[in-house]
Amino acid sequence: MKTFIRLISAMTLLQLLLGSCSDMGDPEILLPQLIVDVESIEFSTITIGATQTKGFRLINNGEGELQVTLALVQDSSVYSLDPQGDFNLNPEDTLNLVVTFTPQSNATYPAEILVSSNDPENSDLAIQVRGRGTAVPVPVLSLSDNQLDFGQILSDGSVQKQITLSSTGNDTLSIDSVTVEQDVFQVDTVFPQHLIPGTSISVTVTFEPVIAGNYDGEMTIYSNSSSSPDVISLLADAEEAVSYATSVQPVWDGSCTGCHGTSAGLNLSSYAQLMSGANSGAVVIAGDGASSRLIMKLRGTAGSRMPLSAPPLADSTIDRIERWIDQGALDN
């Protein structure tokens, strides 16, 4: 019994000593950070029974999981929020939301969107919502989206996105002009356009960069709608293409083809030979460098690091080859 008591006492003392050691430090606490890209939502004056939408985003800009609850508070049923309820956002996640307004009478309608979260510095906030209905003939422009995200493409490529412009009032909508901030964005539709109530047009926007860079901008629509000018965010990135001929094949020629030229199960003497794979199968998965056996062998995460019996390739060189694979492993 005394031995057992001494053992317990020793364990307790050890816990106290460990707990008091300053060099162990406090455990890291990863906190979420809530970002809301609007402070209020203002709808234009629209015809009774017509519908208009507005979008906004919640972003977790922190390092911990964001737990958020969304609720729409209103005196009538003219607004709807999609989605609403409870959501969990990982770091850098974005939640896209849409508010729809359909007035029922000639009146102004206030509402609130309540956002509660576990962000310690921004746990509760209210987004004010306001819109007005009218029985007077009014042209109204409604957008299918408030943002076009072109993603990331190669600097010598192009990508297209579409947006629908709709006439949702009870009078003819005249869209006078559409402008974009940067020349890398092009609109395919000629303006002006005149839309009777209930009709719409689809507008194609092309992103065609010249050099690598971030090209985020705005597309502005001018019309006789009371919401004019309407602004659409344009998000786009262009990445410099990695050339196989000038950035990848020279690496093989300088470090690898001594063994992998005519033997060793993998021939690196040309693009065609590389893409034909090794005896065990493909070594390149186009679009997925991290999962490609070639990259794993160069990093030493799948058996022996290559080149065998020679200094490893520089991390920057492997990164460049991986980026070439991520870009589609092109014969460029």
pLDDT digits (tens, 9 = 90+) for 29-53: 899 999 999 999 999 888 888 889 9
Q: What is the pLDDT of residue 311?
A: 85
Residues 115 and 203 in one domain: no
> Dmax over Cα atoms in the chain, in whole Å?
95
φ, ψ for residue 140, nearest 5 deg: -135, 130
Q: What residues contact 325, with CB distance under 8 A and at least 6 apart? A: 284, 285, 286, 287, 288, 289, 292, 294, 295
Checking DSSP bridges between strand 124-134 and strand 40-47, what pairing results, if any?
parallel
State how far the Cα of 128 lies from the Cα of 239, in Å rounded to an integer: 39
Mean of the pLDDT values across residues 211-238? 93
Give Cα separations from 22 to 10, 30, 48, 53 (angstroms): 20, 21, 68, 56
Confirm if 165 and 174 have CB atoms less than 8 A apart. no
Confirm if 149 and 163 have CB atoms less than 8 A apart. no
Indicate whether 222 belongs to any domain.
yes
Q: Which domain holds residue 178?
A: 137-240
Indicate whether 8 belongs to any domain.
no
Dihedral of CA 56/225/181/202: which sign? positive
Residue of 97, 76, 101, 102 whose CA lies nearest to 85 = 97
Q: What is the pLDDT of residue 169?
A: 86
Task: Categorize the per-residue pLDDT at 173 as very low, low, confident or very high, splitting at 50, 70 and 90.
Answer: very high
Q: What is the pLDDT of residue 181?
A: 87
Q: Is the pLDDT of residue 71 over 60?
A: yes
State how far the Cα of 239 lies from the Cα of 284, in Å rounded to an integer: 21
Residues 253 and 312 in one domain: yes
Indicate whether 196 belongs to any domain.
yes
Q: What is the pLDDT of residue 264?
A: 59
Q: Is the pLDDT of residue 17 over 60?
A: no
DSSP conformation class of 190: -
Q: What is the pLDDT of residue 195?
A: 96
Task: Categorize the per-residue pLDDT at 300 as very low, low, confident or very high, splitting at 50, 70 and 90.
Answer: confident
Task: Give the tens place of pLDDT for each residue, 230-262.
Answer: 999 999 999 888 889 988 999 988 888 777 766
Mean of the pLDDT values across residues 20-30? 59
Q: Is the pLDDT of residue 26 over 90?
A: no
State how far the Cα of 36 lies from the Cα of 321, in Å rounded to an integer: 38
Residues 144 and 73 in one domain: no
Q: Is the pLDDT of residue 57 over 60?
A: yes
Q: Is the pLDDT of residue 198 over 70?
A: yes
Indicate whether 164 belongs to any domain.
yes
Task: Categorize the per-residue pLDDT at 285 as very low, low, confident or very high, splitting at 50, 70 and 90.
Answer: very high
Query: Of 94, 114, 136, which closes a domain?
Result: 136
Q: What is the pLDDT of residue 143?
A: 94
Task: Categorize the per-residue pLDDT at 90 as very low, low, confident or very high, splitting at 50, 70 and 90.
Answer: very high
Q: Is the pLDDT of residue 25 over 60?
A: no
Residues 217 and 271 in one domain: no
State how far the Cα of 200 lies from the Cα of 166, in Å rounded to an integer: 4
Dihedral of CA 14/16/22/24: which sign? positive
Q: Is the pLDDT of residue 124 over 90?
A: yes
Query: Of 208, 240, 272, which closes a domain?
Result: 240
What's the predicted TM-score (pTM) here?
0.58
Query: Of 186, 220, 240, which closes a domain?
Result: 240
Lowest-pLDDT range of 3-7, 121-125, 298-302:
3-7
Specify the residue for token string 């470090």.
255
Indicate whether 18 belongs to any domain.
no
Q: pLDDT over 90 for what percent of the chain?
A: 56
Residues 127 and 146 in one domain: no
Residues 234 and 251 in one domain: no
Q: pLDDT over 70 for what percent of the chain?
A: 91
Residues 224 and 251 in one domain: no
- How many domains is the chain partitioned into structurally? 3
CATH number, domain containing residue 125:
2.60.40.10
Residues 170 and 195 in one domain: yes
The answer to whether the bond into 229 is cis (omega within 30° of 0) is yes
Confirm if 94 and 34 have CB atoms less than 8 A apart. no
Mean of the pLDDT values across residues 82-89? 95
Q: Is the pLDDT of residue 320 over 70?
A: yes
Q: What is the pLDDT of residue 220?
A: 96
Q: Return mean pLDDT, the chain.
A: 87
How many C-beta neighbours within 10 Å does residue 304 have?
Answer: 9
How many C-beta neighbours within 10 Å does residue 89 have?
Answer: 20
Mean of the pLDDT values across residues 56-85? 95
Confirm if 92 and 4 have CB atoms less than 8 A apart. no
Q: How many CA atoms lie within 13 Å of 284's alpha carbon, on the beta-carbon side?
A: 24
